[in-house]
């Protein structure tokens, strides 16, 4: 395995009832007001809002609300939240929601304590911390991004048409409360797109060097099989607690840095989807579902042994009578078939993105990920986009 340094400062409280059991004591330990950040208001319909605010009020905490965080959080929303936090002497940000809420809150935690240009100094390039970000806690209601256990935050600068992420250990949530029952009310589409995002994260780590025997790849294969199995189970019964709890922990394991240790990592598909989202505001998991099989058909011959292993160990592809190339290709086909099975889009048209879209501008804006089996060019990214229409 390659050399690495591992750090994860987030304390996780997992299981049904964990919010009622643990949030009160953590709130009492916070100085100042608590900024309750959330999305479009679904938590007010499913009872989570009442439960969380009830606990905070019982702890004697004053709440400052910050609603309206959108699916692809914008830099303008980050600045709005930072201003609110500074003006109200907020001592803790409590993000309640999925990855978008958590990512936005991490960026706010920096912006609330930083006087300079946050985008230029922390997103356009890696930032340097000579200050402590505003403390953050999260309550997860949508499974997918794994943002609860890392310092990563993906933010869209609408003015620049750039969607990009950074991962700062200083922005790791101090605590994360993961109650699988909180995900029950999420729509089937949102559950499935989040589930595919989990699978995507694992694949983009797995399909990279080193390829010799290593712990990270072995864990990744087990996680991918678990996601596939439990996503099917959750589709059959949305209130299957075992399936929901497994998917919730799969998401955390995919992005708590453990399976990234010693790996080069290939996040080219995420780079492409980020820029597609910056221009079209499409659903993240659905965009990845369209892109992944097409991208892998472009590169699988360059990582033949790993793609063959993926086909056999994850999808159970038979090797009998097949060449290595045929086995590897069958694994990509199995992935594409699974995407259809779970009802995610397989073309851009199904996403509402047609051929009139300026794919060249999007392709030219994509970053080139260094960890791929074969580095893309902007010309080949454009080819992939056109094949996805």
pTM, to two decimals? 0.95
CB 294 within 8 A of CB 203: no
CB 195 within 8 A of CB 32: no
- What pLDDT is stored for residue 294 in this prediction? 98
- What pLDDT is stored for residue 7 in this prediction? 84
- Sorted by where each begins, the domain ranges of the chain are 11-183, 188-388
Task: Provide Rg for the chain, Cα atoms.
Answer: 21
Task: Please give the CATH topology (third level) of the domain spanning 188-388.
Answer: Dehydroquinate synthase-like, alpha domain (1.20.1090)
Class of domain 11-183: alpha beta
- What pLDDT is stored for residue 29 in this prediction? 85
pLDDT in tens, the chain (389 residues): 788 888 899 999 999 999 999 999 999 888 899 999 999 989 999 999 999 999 999 999 999 999 999 999 999 999 999 999 999 999 999 999 999 999 999 999 999 999 999 999 999 999 999 999 999 999 999 999 999 999 999 999 999 999 999 999 999 999 999 999 999 999 999 999 999 999 999 999 999 999 999 999 999 999 999 999 999 999 999 999 999 999 999 999 999 999 999 999 999 999 999 999 999 999 999 999 999 999 999 999 999 999 999 999 999 999 999 999 999 999 999 999 999 999 999 999 999 999 899 999 999 999 999 899 999 999 999 999 999 99
- What pLDDT is stored for residue 359 in this prediction? 97
- What pLDDT is stored for residue 345 in this prediction? 97
| DSSP 3-state of 324 | helix
């Amino acid at each position: 395995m390659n050399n690495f340094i591992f750090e994860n400062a987030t304390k996780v409280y997992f299981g049904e009832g964990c919010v009622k059991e643990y949030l009160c004591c953590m709130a009492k330990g916070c100085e100042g007001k608590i900024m309750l950040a959330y999305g479009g208001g679904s938590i007010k319909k499913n009872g989570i809002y009442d439960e969380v605010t009830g606990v905070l009020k019982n702890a004697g905490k004053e709440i400052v609300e910050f609603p309206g965080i959108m699916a692809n959080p914008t830099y303008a929303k980050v600045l709005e939240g930072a201003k609110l936090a500074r003006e109200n002497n907020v001592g803790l940000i409590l993000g309640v929601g999925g990855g978008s809420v958590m990512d936005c809150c991490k960026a706010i935690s920096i912006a609330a304590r930083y006087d300079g240009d946050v985008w230029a100094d922390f997103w356009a390039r890696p930032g340097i911390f000579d200050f402590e970000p505003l403390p953050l806690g999260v309550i997860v209601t949508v499974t997918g991004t794994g943002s609860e256990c890392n310092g990563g935050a993906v933010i869209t600068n609408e003015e620049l048409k750039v969607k990009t992420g950074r991962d700062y250990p200083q922005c790791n949530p101090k605590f994360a409360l993961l109650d699988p029952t909180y995900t029950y009310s999420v729509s089937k589409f949102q559950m499935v797109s989040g589930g595919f995002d989990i699978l995507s994260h694992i694949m983009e780590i797995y399909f990279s060097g080193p390829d010799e025997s290593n712990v990270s790849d072995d864990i990744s294969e087990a996680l991918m099989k678990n996601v596939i199995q439990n996503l099917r189970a959750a589709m059959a019964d949305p209130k299957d607690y075992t399936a929901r709890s497994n998917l919730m922990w799969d998401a955390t394991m995919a992005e708590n840095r453990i399976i990234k240790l010693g790996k080069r990592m290939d996040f080219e598909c995420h780079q492409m989807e980020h820029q597609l989202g910056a221009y079209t505001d499409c659903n993240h998991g659905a965009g990845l579902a369209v892109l992944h099989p097409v991208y892998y058909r472009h590169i699988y011959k360059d990582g033949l042994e790993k793609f063959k292993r993926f086909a056999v160990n994850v999808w159970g592809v038979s090797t009998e009578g097949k060449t290595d190339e045929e086995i590897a290709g069958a694994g990509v086909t199995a992935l594409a078939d699974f995407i259809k099975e779970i009802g995610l889009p397989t073309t851009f048209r199904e996403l509402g993105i047609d051929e009139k879209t300026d794919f060249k501008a999007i392709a030219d804006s994509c970053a080139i990920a260094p960890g791929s089996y074969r580095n893309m060019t902007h010309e080949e990214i454009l080819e992939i986009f056109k094949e996805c229409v």
